[in-house]
Amino acid sequence: MDGEIAELGSHDELTALRGGHYARLFALQAAGYAERGDRPRTPAAAT
């Protein structure tokens, strides 16, 4: 995937794609925050 768009969508759409690249990376990042006791920041709602 060198330089190609792998997935396209909103945060909610992309995290709903089980096994998707974005969902996997977001889960890894969230797990890191959970280990530290922090809460990951969620994207601001689009207006």
pLDDT of residue 1: 61
Cα separation, 14 vs 18, in Å, equals 9
**Average pLDDT, consecutive stretches of 10 residues, N- to C-terminus, the chain (47 residues):** 90 94 92 74 57
pLDDT of residue 44: 59
pLDDT of residue 35: 76
pLDDT of residue 41: 63
Cα separation, 26 vs 43, in Å, equals 12
Cα separation, 38 vs 31, in Å, equals 10
pLDDT of residue 22: 95
